Amino acid sequence: MLNPNLFPYLLGLSAFLFTVGAMGVLIRRNPIVVFMCIELMLNAGNVALVAYGRFLNSEEGQIFAFMVIVVAAAEVVVGLALITQIFRLGRELDVDDLSEMKE
């Protein structure tokens, strides 16, 4: 049996991971690290979903967390393809310099 007092800590961890990821998106300039921070934010959502699912005795939290993982995998594939393409164009890897997507 799970201690119900754990639940605020799990939601707190979820909020912490999400805001740390958002802070990383704000302050980092390397697009690879920005993508890692987006992964952190998606994982934070998963923690909240699984915690709610566990404490409400329902499987739906796990199912939606599974969907979020699939979306994260798709997002990272396209994002890293974009990063390699930017690198191939000879640009510097810095999101502040990439304010326009012209070729």
Partner 1 sequence: MTVLFAVVIALAAVSALGVVLSRQTIYSALSLVLTVSMLAVLFLLLNAQFLFAVQLIIYAGAVVVLFVFIVALLSPDAEDRPTLDLRAVIGIAGVIVVTALVFIAARNGITYNTNGFHATAVGGASDPYHTFKFPQDTVNNAGNVQTVAGQLFTNYLLPFEITSMLLLVAAIGAVYLTRRSSR
Q: How many CA atoms lie within 13 A of 62 on its CB side?
A: 6
Give min distance, CB of 17 to partner 1, in A.
5
Least separation in angstroms between residue 62's CB and partner 1 is 5
Binding residue for partner 1, selected from 45, 55, 95, 98, defined by CB under 8 A? 55
| Residue in 43, 45, 95, 98 binding partner 1, rule: CB under 8 A | 43
Query: Which residues are CB-neighbours of 19 under 8 A, at least 6 positions away?
Result: none
CB of 68 to partner 1, least distance (A): 10
Please give the distance of CA 27 from its chain centroid, rounded to a whole number: 16
Q: Which two tokens stand for residue 103?
A: 């070729």
